[in-house]
Amino acid sequence: MNINIREIQSNNFKIMNFHHLMQIYENNYHLFKSVRGLLSNKSVLSTIVINSNVMQYEPITQSKYTDIFKFYYKYKPSPSSNTNYSIKPHIIFTLYKDAKLLEAKSIGQHRDFDSNIDAKIKINLNVYFWLKRILNNNAIYQ
């Protein structure tokens, strides 16, 4: 049997990355848990204010163990117009209630079941920093 050292190191790296990804999912769950407490009804489209940031919660499906939804920033009206607007991101969130994990995927990853762990780490780490800034800072996205 011919064992390549590079393959062994690559497999160890993937295991470490998977563990890291699961920690990001757990952290995202706990950050979103404080946001979720502000929602009066988790089954309808809702607008909430978090530290002067207006956020839109858009449920897609709900079941006993998972909630799939979109969560995005709603911009304040500009002086020239009186309407609020939102730029819907191409991110779909899956909240696993029993495992206490929050996974963020792009629409492409959600549709194609993409298994590239680097892309998953990148998008979920960005969501982690985004949620942390919204919860800790005032008017950061204005």
Interhelix angle for 5-36 vs 117-136, to 10°? 30
- Phi/psi region, residue 91 (left: phi>0; alpha: psi -120 to 50; beta: rest), is beta
Looking at per-residue pLDDT, the higher value among 77 and 73 belongs to: 73
With a cut of 90, say whether residue 60 has pLDDT above it: yes
- Predicted TM-score (pTM) of the model is 0.76
In a domain? residue 20 = yes
In a domain? residue 141 = no
In a domain? residue 142 = no
Q: What local confidence, expressed as pLDDT, does residue 124 receive?
A: 93
Looking at per-residue pLDDT, the higher value among 47 and 84 belongs to: 47
In a domain? residue 46 = yes
Confidence grade of residue 141 (pLDDT, cut at 50, 70, 90): very low
Between CA 117 and CA 127 the distance in angstroms is: 15
In a domain? residue 15 = yes
In a domain? residue 83 = yes
In a domain? residue 117 = yes
Report, as an integer, the average pLDDT of 89-113: 88
Dump the DSSP string for 1-16. ----HHHHHHHHHHHH
Range of the domain at 19: 5-136
Number of domains making up the chain: 1
In a domain? residue 25 = yes
